[in-house]
């Protein structure tokens, strides 16, 4: 199989887009390290993989905590694929933004992928191959009221994608971003409800929400050698929302 012998760490794969990504990577033969804070949901993701004959294990981590992050990096070991997906989405108008959720957003959405990549990229560089996929959002490109901090963390992640490509790609490690549009996941439904999600969906050219699988397919593509000539790129998987 395409990814036999490869190890993939997918952060935030206890739910949503990344749980689907973990399933796709495992179905292609990768051994997947599933991670998140919830052991219960982590076990559920692992079960959906192992029930299909795939390889997966769960490592609990709260990525807003650096000790927990370094424990995850040590447990994962030398990975071939890193998907920086875990994120939080505490929306608030700028004038009402509280400092605690501002700091939590920076810690989870930016500091975590930064130091996880710093911990795991050296083994990829030493091996001369590897793929890092960062998960951003269309809101990094278009101004959306109430999403200031979230959007800024993701715009920073897109910038890091370019820097990391410049730092690691000469050694054979590709680094890319997927920037999804509105996708039917817990995060979105909890934050905006069905009606709010449908309103955002209507602003896309296709007029609907993505399924988690549709976004996971793009992450999968970037993670594998199918995207062998892509690095430093941000792929908009947003039904045209940032195109027109």
Ligand X SMILES: NC(=O)c1ccc[n+]([C@@H]2O[C@H](COP(=O)([O-])OP(=O)(O)OC[C@H]3O[C@@H](n4cnc5c(N)ncnc54)[C@H](OP(=O)(O)O)[C@@H]3O)[C@@H](O)[C@H]2O)c1
Q: Does 141 bind ligand X (CB under 6 A)?
A: no
Q: Which of 180, 201, 223, 239 is close enough to bind ligand X by CB under 6 A?
A: 180
Q: Does 12 bind ligand X (CB under 6 A)?
A: yes
Give the nearest distance from C-beta 204 to ligand X in angstroms: 11
Q: Which of 6, 36, 160, 224 is close enough to bind ligand X by CB under 6 A?
A: 36
Query: Which C-beta is closer to ligand X: that of 70 or that of 125?
Result: 70
Give the nearest distance from C-beta 73 to ligand X in angstroms: 13
Q: Which residues pair with 204 in a beta bridge?
A: none
Torsion sign, CA atoms 34, 39, 41, 43? positive
Q: Does 204 bind ligand X (CB under 6 A)?
A: no
Which residue is catalytic, options 58, 89, 150, 168? 150
- Is 150 a residue of the active site? yes
CA–CA separation, 237 vs 219, rounded Å? 10
Q: Which of 185, 204, 231, 234 is close enough to bind ligand X by CB under 6 A?
A: 185
For residue 1, the SS3 value is coil
Q: Does 10 bind ligand X (CB under 6 A)?
A: no
Q: Which residue is nearest to ligand X (CB)?
A: 16
Nearest to 49 by CA among 22, 85, 70, 28: 22
Strand order in the sheet with 55-60: 55-60, 31-36, 7-10, 81-84, 130-135, 173-180, 234-237
CA–CA separation, 119 vs 112, rounded Å? 10
Give the nearest distance from C-beta 39 to ligand X in angstroms: 8
Asked if 65 and 167 touch (Cβ cutoff 8 Å), the reply is no
- Sole residue written with tokens 């955002």: 200
Interaction residues for ligand X, span 151-170 (CB under 6 A): none
| Interaction pattern, residues 41-80, with ligand X; x per rule: CB under 6 A | x-------------------xxxx----------------
Nearest to 8 by CA among 59, 43, 51: 59
Query: Which C-beta is closer to ligand X: that of 47 or that of 127?
Result: 47
**Quick one: tokens of 110?**
């930016």
| Interaction pattern, residues 87-106, with ligand X; x per rule: CB under 6 A | xx------------------
CA–CA separation, 135 vs 179, rounded Å? 6
Q: Which of 7, 9, 17, 219 is close enough to bind ligand X by CB under 6 A?
A: 17
Q: Does 22 bind ligand X (CB under 6 A)?
A: no
Inter-CA distances, 51 with 14, 26, 56, 105, 161, Å: 16, 11, 10, 34, 34
Residue numbers of the site for ligand X (CB under 6 A)? 12, 14-18, 36-38, 41, 61-64, 85-88, 108, 135, 137, 180, 182-183, 185-188
Show which residues are catalytic. Answer: 150
């Amino acid at each position: 199989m395409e990814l036999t012998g490869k190890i993939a760490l997918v952060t935030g794969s206890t739910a949503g887009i990344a749980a689907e990504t973990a399933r796709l990577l495992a179905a292609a033969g990768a051994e997947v390290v599933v991670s998140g804070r919830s052991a219960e949901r982590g076990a559920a993701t692992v079960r959906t993989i192992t029930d299909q004959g795939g390889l997966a294990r769960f490592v609990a981590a709260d990525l807003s905590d650096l000790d927990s992050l370094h424990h995850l990096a040590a447990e994962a070991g030398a990975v071939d694929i890193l998907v920086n997906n875990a994120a939080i989405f505490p929306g608030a108008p700028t004038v009402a933004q509280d400092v605690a959720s501002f700091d939590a957003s920076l810690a989870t959405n930016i500091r975590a992928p930064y130091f996880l990549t710093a911990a795991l990229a050296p083994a990829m560089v030493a091996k001369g191959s590897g793929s890092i996929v960062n998960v951003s959002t269309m809101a990094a490109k278009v101004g959306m009221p109430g999403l200031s901090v979230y959007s800024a963390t993701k715009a920073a992640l897109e910038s890091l994608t370019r820097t990391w490509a410049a730092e690691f790609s000469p050694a054979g490690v590709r680094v890319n971003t997927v920037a999804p549009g509105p996708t039917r996941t817990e995060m979105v439904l909890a934050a905006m409800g069905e009606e709010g999600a449908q309103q955002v969906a209507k602003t896309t050219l296709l007029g609907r929400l993505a399924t988690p699988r549709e976004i996971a397919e793009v992450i999968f593509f970037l993670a594998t050698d199918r995207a062998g000539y892509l690095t430093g790129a941000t792929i908009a998987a947003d039904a045209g929302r940032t195109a027109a």
